[in-house]
Amino acid sequence: MSLTAEKASNIAEVLAESLPYIQRFQGKTIVVKYGGNAMTEEALKQGFARDIVLMKLVGMNPVVVHGGGPQIGRMLEQVGKESEFINGMRVTDSETMDIVEMVLGGYVNKEIVNLIHQHGGNSVGLTGKDGNLIRATKMQMTQDTPGLDAPEIIDIGHVGEVESVDVSVVNMLIQGDFIPVIAPIGVGKDGHSYNINADLVAGKVAEALNAEKLMLLTNISGLLDKEGNLLTGLNSEKVDALIKDGTIYGGMLPKIQCALDAVENGVKSSHIVDGRVPHAVMLEIFTDEGVGTLITNS
């Protein structure tokens, strides 16, 4: 069936609009944190993989960092182990860490690699343990308890924070024309594995790569004001004001802080992107409007 004149015109407009972005980002590194609905709904998964492959084909250097909380929860349920959370963090004993490593470093990571291959890309999966990529320290969590003079230290097991990032292996893959896909598992000086928040890993990897962009896919439209309108074009000063007036709170706080830290440490821009939108990554990069909240250091 032939194209109508209107449809052909729309396609031409989209392609023309994308040209300056392709020129601008050619040879640039873009770190994408992949999670949420985009990672579980089949059509969104296929669209994400196509977007990443297209970025590579037009000369950009995409690096994917993925989460996998729901997949970990399902596997724990299958083996009869109950998920426990404290302040939003999964309590991760040694047995749970083995399952986390199997799910993130095995099943989820290789599924993403395979999706990219299906759409014509060339990808390699890693965890933070490969090539000494992510050095981790054990996360210290405290809470105030009535009757105690000092905050109580809570042991949540193998949950870590990023101590340092060595991107030698990532750079080697980029130079070899591969798309790196990174699972957020780090290793401590004690040799233990640590489960690390994927947003945090993506931010630190973007900083270490001096990336052009950091994109964090979420299950919301971006940062909204109190009237439900999308906020964009934020910087440190505006973010601080939004935290003080209660616009930024709860689970959005660490995500925004991660994005802000990245732009304050060399990344050109960060984006909180609605991963529920088909081809969200492509729309954010190749169009004037984008589909999320932009955070810069200016």
- Does any domain span residue 9? no
- pLDDT for 220 equals 77
- pLDDT for 143 equals 64
Range(s) of the domain holding residue 113 = 27-295
Which residues in the chain come in under a pLDDT of 50? none
Beta strand 123-127 with 152-154 is unpaired
CA distance 216 to 254: 12
141 CB-contact burial (10 Å; exposed 0-12 / middle 13-18 / buried 19+): middle
- pLDDT for 142 equals 66
Half-sphere exposure of 120 (CA within 13 A, CB side): 8
- pLDDT for 12 equals 79
Q: How many domains does the chain have?
A: 1
C-beta atoms surrounding 65 within 10 Å: 27
- pLDDT for 167 equals 96
- Does any domain span residue 15? no
- pLDDT for 18 equals 83
- pLDDT for 90 equals 84
- Element containing residue 202 per DSSP (H, E): helix 198-208
Q: Kindly report the CATH number assigned to the domain that includes residue 274.
A: 3.40.1160.10
Read off the pLDDT of residues 88-119 as tens digits, 9 standing for 90 and up.
778 888 999 999 999 999 999 999 999 999 99
- pLDDT for 117 equals 97
Total-model pTM: 0.90
Q: Evaluate whether 290 touches 271 at the Cβ level (below 8 Å).
A: yes
- Does any domain span residue 219? yes
CA distance 136 to 163: 5
- Does any domain span residue 288? yes
- Does any domain span residue 43? yes
- Does any domain span residue 202? yes
168 CB-contact burial (10 Å; exposed 0-12 / middle 13-18 / buried 19+): exposed
Six token digits for residue 77: 């349920």
- pLDDT for 33 equals 96
CA distance 89 to 87: 6
Residue type, 214: L
- pLDDT for 249 equals 74
CA distance 110 to 125: 7
CA distance 281 to 64: 11
- Does any domain span residue 274? yes
99 CB-contact burial (10 Å; exposed 0-12 / middle 13-18 / buried 19+): middle
- Does any domain span residue 18? no
Tell me phi and psi for residue 193, to 5 degrees.
-85, 145
